[in-house]
Amino acid sequence: MTDPIIQARAVEKFYVQPGGKQIEVIAPIDLDVAGGQIIALLGPSGCGKSTLLRILSGLSQPSSGSVLWHGKPLAQQQPSAAIVFQSFALFPWLTVLENVEAPLEAHGMGAVERRKRALKAVDTVGLDGFETAYPKELSGGMKQRVGFARALAVEPEVLFMDEPFSALDVLTAESLRNELLELWLSKKMSSSAIFLVTHNIEEAVLLADRVIVLGKNPARVRADFQVDIPQWRDRKAARFVEYVDYVYRVMTEPEADHVPPGSVATTIPTIKATRQKYQMLPHARVGGITGLLELLADRGDREDIYRLSDQLVMDVEDLLPILEGCVLLGFATLKEGDVETTPDGRRFAEADIQDRKNLFREAALKHVVILQQIDNILHAKSDHSIPEEFFHDILDDHFSEDEVERQFSTALNWGRYAEIFDYDPETHRLLLAEHLDGNSHPAAARP
C-alpha cells in the first residue's frame, strides 16, 4: 500500500467540566486513511464519529494528539478536503449554481473558469436545468445533489461525508447511494478517498472497502475490517448478510470477541471496553420498550436483530437504545445477533396497564442505579422532594453536558411512568409520587 493520505496519531477529545473533571469523548485513536478506498466509520448516535470526521478534515482541533496530511501537521497547511453534510448546509439565498461556485470563488478563481467548473459539477450529479433554482424549491434528494456538486467542484483529495443520506427518505437515499458508487467506480470524481460517517450498517457494508466500528463513551475503535466483496454488492447475498450480522454483533455485544467474515488477518484485536464507573441509561422511551416486548411476544420471544430492524424499517441508531433498555431492565438478553425475551419480559408483555407499571417499577428499582438513588433520597428526606439540580450534579461528574440532559430526561421518563416519583416543572423538583400536591399538578393547568 502507498503512503496514507491522512495519519491520525493518538487523537483524543475531551471536555473539561467547570469542576476541573475531564469528560472523555474520544479515547486516543490511531487511524490511517489511504487512497483508493471508500472508508465507512460506523457507530451508535452520539459516539463521537462526527467529531472524529471534523478532526480528520481539519475543521476542529483534537484535545491532544496530531493529524498529519501527507506527513505534515494540519496546522501548516490547508488540507484538500470537502464535506457533504447531513443537513446539506446550502445557502438558501444562493441559487444552485451560486452555491456550487461559492467555494471556487473562495479560492479566487475567475468568473469564467468558475462558471465552467460549476456547470460541469452540476452536470455530473444530474442537476442540469436546475442551475438557477433556489435550494428551497428542491426536494431533499436534489438538495443533497447540490451538496455533492459543491464538494466535487473543488476536486478534493479526500471527500468527507457526514451521514449524507440520513435526512432523506429510503428510496431517494438508495438511488443517491448508487449514483455515488457509480461516480466513484467509473472514476468520474477526482477524489482519491471517500470517508463516510454513518450509523446505517447496511449502507456501510454496501459502499465501503473498509469499515471502522466505533464504540461509545468514550469513542474507541471496536472493529476495523475490509469488506471483501466485489462491487456491485447484493444485499441478499449470503456473504453480505454475514458482514451485516457481524457488525450487529459487534455493536450489540461489545464485551464478546467477534471474528469478521473473511480473513482474520485484516482485523485488529478488539479492545475491550473498560466497564463504566457509572451506569449509563440508553435513550429509550418506555413506549418503545413496551412496543418491542409486545412484538417479541408475538414472534415467539426470539428474533434476529438484523431482521427486526429490517422489518421495522428502523435504523440501528434507533433500535439499539431500545434493545439496550430491555436488557438493562432484565426484560431481554442479546445472544449472537439475536434478542430473546426473559421470563420477566414475557410477564411484562402480557400484563395489563396497571400491572405493567408495577413490573416496570420493580425492574427499574432493581437494575437502574439512578432511579434507586432518587428513590432512596426521596424516602429519606422529610419533605419527600429534591431539586432537579441535585441529580445534575451527580451526573455532571460522569457525562458531558448534553449527555447529562439526555440521561436526566430518560430517567425522568422511566421514573414518572413507574410512579417512583413525579416532577414539577414549575419548581424543577422531583417529588415522591404519593406526596404530590394535587393543585400543582402541571397537567391540570394546561389548556
Partner 1 sequence: MKTRETPRPNLLRPLWSVLPRLSVSRLPDLLMFSAALALFYGTVVVGKTWLGPFTPSVEISRSPFALPIYAGYSLLRITAAYVLSLLFALVYGYIAAYNSRAEKFMVPLLDVLQSIPVLSFLPGVMLAMVALFPGRQLGVEAGAILLIFTGQVWNMAFSFYASLKSIPREMREAAKIYGFSGWQRFVQMELPYGTIGLVWNSMMSVAGGWFFLMACEMFVLGERDFRLPGLGSYLQTAASAGDTSSLLWGLATMIAVIVLLDQVVWRPVIAWAEKFKFEQVESADAPESWFLNWVRHSRGLRRIQKKVVRPVGESVMAHFARQHARVAPPARSKSIVVWTGRLLGATVLLLVIYAVVRVVGTLSTLRIMELRELGWGLIATFLRVNLALMIGAAWTIPAGVAIGLSPRLARIAQPLAQIAASVPATALFPVVLLLLIRIGGGLGMGSIVLLLLGTQWYILFNVIAGAIAIPSDLKEAASIFGIDGWIRWRKLILPGIFPYLVTGLVTASGGAWNASIVAEYFHFKGHIYFTPGLGSTISHATDSGNSQLLLAATILMAAAVVTVNRLVWRRMYALAESRYKMEG
Residue 238 parent element (H or E): helix 238-252
Q: How far is residue 387's CA from residue 393's CA, in Å, rounded to a whole number?
A: 11
Residue 16 binds partner 1 (CB under 8 A): no
Of these, 21, 70, 72, 89, which contacts partner 1 (CB under 8 A)? Answer: 89
Q: Does 78 bind partner 1 (CB under 8 A)?
A: yes
Taking CB under 8 A as the criterion, the residue among 154, 161, 197, 322 binding partner 1 is 154
Q: Give the list of residues 6+ apart from residue 309 with CB closer than 8 angstroms, or none.
A: 315, 316, 319
> Residue 27, CB half-sphere, CA atoms under 13 Å: how many?
13
250 binds partner 1 (CB under 8 A): no
Q: Is 69 left (phi over 0), alpha (psi -120 to 50) or beta?
A: beta
Note whether 275 binds partner 1 by CB under 8 A: no
Which of these, 303, 377, 366, lies nearest to 334 by C-alpha position?
303
Query: Looking at 81, 158, 197, 292, which residue binds partner 1 (CB under 8 A)?
Result: 81
64 backbone dihedrals φ, ψ, rounded to 5°? -150, 170
Contact status: 91 vs partner 1 (CB under 8 A)? yes
User: How many residues of this chain bind partner 1 (CB under 8 A)?
Assistant: 39
Among 113, 123, 128, 137, binds partner 1 (CB under 8 A): 137
Report the residue from 187, 236, 275, 446 that binds partner 1 according to the rule CB under 8 A. 446
Cell numbers found for residue 202: 447496511
* 436 lies in the site for partner 1, by CB under 8 A: no
Q: List the interface residues with partner 1, window 394-433 (CB under 8 A).
A: 425
Interactions with partner 1, residue window 96-135 (CB under 8 A): 102-103, 105-108, 110-111, 132, 134
Q: Does 195 bind partner 1 (CB under 8 A)?
A: no
306: its cell numbers: 438484523
Kindly state the smallest distance separating residue 75's Cβ from partner 1, in Å. Answer: 5
150 in contact with partner 1 (CB under 8 A): yes
Closest distance to partner 1 from the beta carbon of 70 (Å):
16
Does 264 contact partner 1 by CB under 8 A? no
Cβ-based nearer residue to partner 1, 228 or 389: 389
68 binds partner 1 (CB under 8 A): no
Minimum Å distance from CB 150 to partner 1? 8
For 423, what's the count of Cα atoms within 13 Å in the CB-facing half-sphere?
17
Cell 404519593, residue located? 434
Helix (H, G, I), strand (E, B) or coil at 27: strand
Name the pairing type of β-strands 158-162 and 81-84: parallel
CB of 410: closest distance to partner 1 in angstroms?
Answer: 20
Contact 276, 217 (CB under 8 A): yes
Given the complex with partner 1, which of 44 and 156 has the nearer CB atom? 156
Long-range pairs for 298-305: beta carbons < 8 A, 24 or more residues apart: 301/340, 301/341, 301/346, 302/338, 302/339, 302/340, 302/341, 303/338, 303/339, 304/337, 304/338, 305/248, 305/252, 305/334, 305/337, 305/338, 305/339
Residues that bind partner 1 (CB under 8 A): 54, 57-59, 75-78, 81-83, 85-87, 89, 91-94, 102-103, 105-108, 110-111, 132, 134, 136-137, 150, 154, 162, 425, 442, 445-447
